[in-house]
Structure 1
């Protein structure tokens, strides 16, 4: 649970750094945000920012569109179909390796929201035990694929030679793939693991602890948006930061659950499961080190992400300028830490 003193400090900062009255209808700027799955819980700060009017206070009218995986999110941004998205850092680095000028602006899943899981009764204990096995994934090119490939590379195993990936989808299809024996392991998000357990496939984590420091999906935009309209980016980040802070306060729990249910009613049909999943996802968004506040991206972890992407073959070599892949400018501003 978030320390109350930390919460009060965060909320005071958020309120001091730009709360203004809602813009008039004539002033509203329409913004499209794309997420890699339909889940409102995985983007809870966006739906809180919509429901609590934090975007409206910034003069933004945000619409949310769900598409399939980080690759599709990045394609939507690079084609101009959306202005903000929530992909994983691995796909972002791979895209920049192809000269796609996408920039990470807010670290939402501050602790890894992926893990390699196996059935609870499986004899597999470590990633090395997956040699010759099949690892299921939700999408063909999503963040979960890069994460699992990095874990397997750390165990000395190479994709396509020592093991194979099989795209099986999430939820019911993943459950069926385990039950039929099509897959031996699954690269699961926090939500995926919760769903598998709920549907009777008890799973356990075999991810080495050192990989849990790798942050997961976060908020991005294109480089030209930052250069041409930094005020818009700051407004968006300030609103999602306010939504993040609001959601971490236990006193706001029922409101937060209601906002997420409004964003995806089907996901919250089982209220108890939705609440449990929110708790799991929420905990992943709280940094171990709160020195720089919510949303901050540790440069050293970006270096580690790049190294693992190179080792896994997603990057041919170091990017010309890794620091161009991310910026802490806006998060430091909304946290009151900018110089």
Structure 2
């Protein structure tokens, strides 16, 4: 796995092996690792805010953040014991569980879909049906954007390999080049990806049918044995993460939030106007349409829809024996209690 490591205050280097359960005895703090599927600090903004505001420190946790390539790699790191928490998509997590990976989603970060299929502004394609026989670019081969796009295309009655093709092209500059070179006709992008393309002068528009907005995106995951054997860690993480999320939703804290994000990824902070606009776009996707259960809550019905789409698209051979084991709302409830929700 190719990794990019972000160092925050009170962090120390941790070897790839033996990450779980290590402690910094000099500081009486516990070192843990969080893996994210892209280098963007904005996409994982509650983590960087919770680091910067000291919420993790209050729970006795030093959080090291590593960026690796896509949800598949995130789940691999979790299952290999190289990370405690990660931010994979629901589709890859269900697929991993079908292969025996006992990962569990514990907090719904992208409560509204943070993916969409985009085409160039001047494209003749006006709706998904127009992609029949076309090539759709993706950032990774097995990331959440792939499962989302496959879901959309299946809903339009199209099958991968027969009616359309995926092509892994990367994100940012490589995606722009793929459009310009005519390698792809559309791109399955996150909210951040689309904003970056537009910033780079590759104007794109979203053609995703509106009904797919209910398909939540990437969330916080850990392994089931971590929940069973180290519940205090999961509860402490959940409290700090939820506090970071709630802090970032309050516009009174905006300057502090953007400063924390720039510390997490200085490149994103170079263009303040773009950083601010991108943060607004990403943040908006984390606010549930129904706040009755607070932040981070998972709707069971949409998990079922995710699984149905994966089965229909051939991504998994059949339903999981226990879909409910793939997610839990108990730690979102603990997090909401910590912020008074």
TM-score by length of 2: 0.91
2:238 and 2:334 in contact (8 A); partners too: no
User: Are positions 1:288 and 2:285 aligned together?
Assistant: no
Which residue in the other structure is 1:198 paired with?
199
User: Are positions 1:59 and 2:41 aligned together?
Assistant: no
SS in 1 for 2:291: coil
Superposed displacement of residue 26, structure 1: 3.9
Deviations 1:194-214 (A, max 9, x none): 011111111111111111110
Superposed displacement of residue 51, structure 1: 0.3
RMSD: 1.4
Question: Structure 1 CA distance, aligned partners of 2:279 and 2:25?
Answer: 33
Question: Structure 2 CA distance, aligned partners of 1:167 and 1:46?
Answer: 28
SS in 1 for 2:183: coil
Superposed displacement of residue 333, structure 1: 2.0
Question: Structure 1 CA distance, aligned partners of 2:269 and 2:190?
Answer: 18
Which residue in the other structure is 2:188 paired with?
187
Which residue in the other structure is 1:14 paired with?
none
Superposed displacement of residue 332, structure 1: 1.1
Which residue in the other structure is 1:304 paired with?
305
Which residue in the other structure is 1:226 paired with?
227
Superposed displacement of residue 27, structure 1: 2.5
Which residue in the other structure is 1:126 paired with?
127
Mapping of residues 66-145 of structure 1, within 5 Å: 66-145=67-146
2:32 and 2:64 in contact (8 A); partners too: yes
Which residue in the other structure is 2:209 paired with?
208
SS in 2 for 1:115: strand
Superposed displacement of residue 267, structure 1: 1.5
Superposed displacement of residue 314, structure 1: 1.2
Question: Structure 1 CA distance, aligned partners of 2:59 and 2:25?
Answer: 10
Deviations 1:256-293 (A, max 9, x none): 00000000001111111011000000000000000110
SS in 1 for 2:34: strand
User: Are positions 1:274 and 2:272 aligned together?
Assistant: no
The structure with the largest helix share of the pair is 1
Which residue in the other structure is 1:176 paired with?
177
Provide structure 1 residue ranges, at least 5 long, that are not aligned to the other structure.
1-22
Question: Structure 1 CA distance, aligned partners of 2:321 and 2:26?
Answer: 43
Which residue in the other structure is 2:316 paired with?
315
SS in 2 for 1:268: coil
SS in 2 for 1:204: strand
Which residue in the other structure is 1:333 paired with?
334
Question: Structure 2 CA distance, aligned partners of 1:84 and 1:333?
Answer: 17
Question: Structure 1 CA distance, aligned partners of 2:81 and 2:25?
Answer: 26
Superposed displacement of residue 107, structure 1: 0.3
User: Are positions 1:34 and 2:35 aligned together?
Assistant: yes
Question: Structure 2 CA distance, aligned partners of 1:304 and 1:231?
Answer: 32
Aligned residues: 316
TM-score by length of 1: 0.91
Provide structure 2 residue ranges, at least 5 long, that are not aligned to the other structure.
1-23
Which residue in the other structure is 2:254 paired with?
253
Which residue in the other structure is 1:17 paired with?
none
Which residue in the other structure is 2:48 paired with?
47
Superposed displacement of residue 25, structure 1: 5.0
Question: Structure 2 CA distance, aligned partners of 1:102 and 1:113?
Answer: 21
Superposed displacement of residue 87, structure 1: 0.5
Q: Which runs of 4+ in 1 moved over 3 A?
A: 23-26
Deviations 1:153-178 (A, max 9, x none): 01111111111111111001111111
